[in-house]
Structure 1
Amino acid sequence: MIDRIRAGVTRWTVTVPLLALVTLALTWGRSLPGAVVAVVAAFLAGAVLAAVHHAEVIAHRVGEPFGSLVLAVAVTIIEVALIVTLMAGAPVKNATLARDTVFAAVMITCNGILGLSILLAALRHRVAVFNAEGTGAAFATIATLATLSLVLPTFTTSTPGPQFNTAQLTYAAVASLGLYGLFVATQTLRHRDYFLQVTAEGELLDEDDHGELPSSREALTSLGLLGVALVAVVGLAKVVSPTIESAVADAGLPASVVGVVIALLVLLPETIAALRAAVGNRVQTSLNLALGSALASIGLTVPAVAVASVWLSGPLVLGLGPTHMVLLALTVAIGTLTVIPRRATPLQGAVHLSVLAAYLVLAVSP
């Protein structure tokens, strides 16, 4: 029975990305009726789930924390491609899209995924135990990158509005990419043990007890299919983006809600993988996924939109407003207090989720 289920999952995760790619070829650049948009959205969702499956196969093969890194980077590539594609299509209209999407990703990962992971693990195992060295390093890097890229533009004076001038944007892009690269080196090479699961007594658990490892051939196949799924997701998201923007406008919601929708969409694979790990009492894997996604979102998106701004005709607005700066400061403060004790109760999870809820309410009703 298990072999049959596994074979069914394998066939599904191979077929759906290929069909999604065919759907993309048939619908690209066309005005679509509502029924066709629904079909495209279904294939988009299927491609996202297929992508997370293949990312998990690769992650299982290479182990932690490399596995979390694979999924984080894969998901962020989707986000970056979506942002650049949408901004290229309407540079003036989408001037704040990069800021809105990156900030939404930070709020969703650092409060939503992290909060849910802690809450589930603590409810199931009394407390959620994790490695404070690695988690703290990730959180500190997120706070630094978010401040440099999203807060400082609000206070600079060289360019009118919450924007960087060329020199400032170049620095932000280089700093984001450099710090992210240094974090990845720290996570995977020099201090890999800081990002491994620990026991309640503080002992490292550097072992893989989640079944037989995929073969090299299976991992390479998943790597290729992951690429196909990512191309399909990016393309299909571009196809349905006019419908999303129209729906947001028709509902009378702020344009920034589009960024929230994109972030929720691309972070769905991360959320699923993180919650699975939390239920299995692998809290550090959950936190690696959550915080790694936030880091990748800033560290890769800011350099990408900085390069794209060379040919984009519209402005690039990165600076946050006062409300969002307060939420970011609150997230950094409570995140620091959550990380320091090396363990968390359901209360800490609920506190993070309440901040996410406040962000969503204010996004809809600023």
Structure 2
Amino acid sequence: MSDRLRRIARQWTTFIPALALLLLVATWGRSIPAVLVGVVAVFLAAAVLAAVHHAEVIAHRVGEPFGSLVLAVAVTAIEVALIVTLMAGGPEKNATLARDTVFAAVMITCNGIVGVCLLVTSLRHRIAVYNSEGTGAALATVATLATLSLVLPSFTTSTPGPQFNTTQLTFAAVASVGLYALFVLTQTVRHRDYFLPLTRAGEVIEGDDHADPPTARQALVSLGLLGVALVAVVGLAKVESPTIEKGVAAAGLPSSVVGVVIALLVLLPETIAAVRAARRDRVQTSLNLALGSAMASIGLTIPAVAIASVFLSGPLVLGLDPTHMVLLALTMIVGTLTVVPGRSTPLQGGVHLSILAAYLVLAANP
């Protein structure tokens, strides 16, 4: 292989996002053959890995918790755009899309990502150590946002069904934005030290001692490529969704399983980044990613769909059914018991993963 080809191979994270975006443009809105479906899947996976790489470059430059915040907000903003686009394409058919997607994101992040990261770190280092003040504040915010936006609609009486009326939806949207903004201020300014990784002795770790931080130019380039990669990830996931829908229908599974699969694909960049941080014993970074993603998913989606509902016809169903409310309550109770000590063993990771498994089983067999 020539030197030129070697340089290209080393810089695959630079050109893969652009190629994935070109593939998205070529396939968007079209019915694609089986062979091209496989090609799209390969580029989707490559774009995920590229997004993780560029997110880590940015995180290394700006430090925690800003790095986690950049990835969480970027992924969620594009996810919200996808949800609104799909709702506009079929309001009646997609009445529960926002609810299903947000709840899937909450369960995947608060149980799947948290559980895997706690398990990875505690198996490698006996226990996982993190800051209970910061993680507890994040979990409390997620619990409040989820209850206000996804639980209360099932108990209101002004509108038939698990829906908010206009006043209630406006309040939920404003409360979501306000709480999320307040949390970001707390995380990045007022109490930033609560969200920094800890040593085994409980000391705060500032920066990354494994390598020199990238230059400002490198970080800006990675920021642009991260945006391109995330657009490609979410867009290609949408391109794959008809194939997923056919597979789900052929297997005799409920249509809500499609939302779970797409949520899993969209959250792949954060999942991989969180597990990598856990392997380096930076559990706080992993928890920042997981809970920050859950929070951003609610805090950005609810205001977006509230605004979109003004222009879209059809109902907007936000209230969870009783089974999902039980799983949400269990997630928050177990999460609180996990967070309070500031230390976890493999048991806590296994408990969170078992809740996620219960959610997936009930999604496939309600």
TM over 0.5: yes
Question: Alpha-carbon deviation of 1:306?
Answer: 1.2
The corresponding residue for 1:204 is 204
What whole-Å deviation, never above 9, does each CA across 1:61-85 have from its counterpart, x for those lacking one? 1000101111111221232122112
The corresponding residue for 1:29 is 29
Contact 1:78 1:266 in 2 (8 A): no
What whole-Å deviation, never above 9, does each CA across 1:71-120 have from its counterpart, x for those lacking one? 11122123212211222212111111111111111111111111111111
The corresponding residue for 1:274 is 274
Residues 287-302 of structure 1: matches in 2 within 5 Å?
A: 287-302=287-302
Contact 1:134 1:194 in 2 (8 A): yes
Query: What is the rounded CA distance, in whole Å, between the counterparts of 1:202 and 1:96 in structure 2?
Result: 44
Question: Alpha-carbon deviation of 1:232?
Answer: 2.2
Structure 1 residues 235 and 348: CA distance shift in structure 2, 3 A: closer
Contact 2:99 2:319 in 1 (8 A): yes
Structure 1 residues 257 and 98: CA distance shift in structure 2, 3 A: same
Amino acid at match of 1:264: L
Residues 75-90 of structure 1: matches in 2 within 5 Å?
A: 75-90=75-90
Relative to the length of structure 1, the TM-score reads 0.95
More off after superposition, 80-89 vs 143-152? 80-89
Residues 1-366 of structure 1: matches in 2 within 5 Å?
A: 11-366=11-366
Query: What is the rounded CA distance, in whole Å, between the counterparts of 1:30 and 1:259 in structure 2?
Result: 20
- After superposing on structure 2, the runs of 4+ consecutive aligned residues of structure 1 that deviate more than 4 Å are 3-10
Amino acid at match of 1:262: I
Contact 1:82 1:237 in 2 (8 A): no
Question: Alpha-carbon deviation of 1:10?
Answer: 5.1
Query: What is the rounded CA distance, in whole Å, between the counterparts of 2:53 and 2:6 in structure 1?
Result: 12
Contact 1:122 1:128 in 2 (8 A): yes
More off after superposition, 251-260 vs 43-52? 43-52
Query: What is the rounded CA distance, in whole Å, between the counterparts of 2:203 and 2:220 in structure 1?
Result: 33
Amino acid at match of 2:212: E
Relative to the length of structure 2, the TM-score reads 0.95
Question: Alpha-carbon deviation of 1:250?
Answer: 2.2
Length, aligned pairs only: 364
Amino acid at match of 1:114: V
Amino acid at match of 1:179: L
Question: Alpha-carbon deviation of 1:5?
Answer: 12
SS at match of 1:253: coil
Structure 1 residues 177 and 12: CA distance shift in structure 2, 3 A: same
Structure 1 residues 330 and 8: CA distance shift in structure 2, 3 A: farther
Question: Alpha-carbon deviation of 1:198?
Answer: 1.9
What whole-Å deviation, never above 9, does each CA across 1:241-298 have from its counterpart, x for those lacking one? 2222222222211111111112101111111111111111111111111111111111
Query: What is the rounded CA distance, in whole Å, between the counterparts of 2:260 and 2:289 in structure 1?
Result: 19
What whole-Å deviation, never above 9, does each CA across 1:110-141 have from its counterpart, x for those lacking one? 11111111111111111111000000000000
Query: What is the rounded CA distance, in whole Å, between the counterparts of 2:66 and 2:84 in structure 1?
Result: 27
Contact 1:150 1:319 in 2 (8 A): yes
Amino acid at match of 1:101: T
What whole-Å deviation, never above 9, does each CA across 1:290-318 have from its counterpart, x for those lacking one? 11111111111111111111222221111
Amino acid at match of 2:321: G
Over aligned residue pairs, what C-alpha RMSD do you find?
Answer: 1.8
What whole-Å deviation, never above 9, does each CA across 1:221-244 have from its counterpart, x for those lacking one? 111112222232333233222222
Contact 2:72 2:292 in 1 (8 A): yes
Question: Alpha-carbon deviation of 1:4?
Answer: 11
Unaligned runs of 5+ in 1: none
What whole-Å deviation, never above 9, does each CA across 1:19-47 have from its counterpart, x for those lacking one? 11211222222222222222222222222
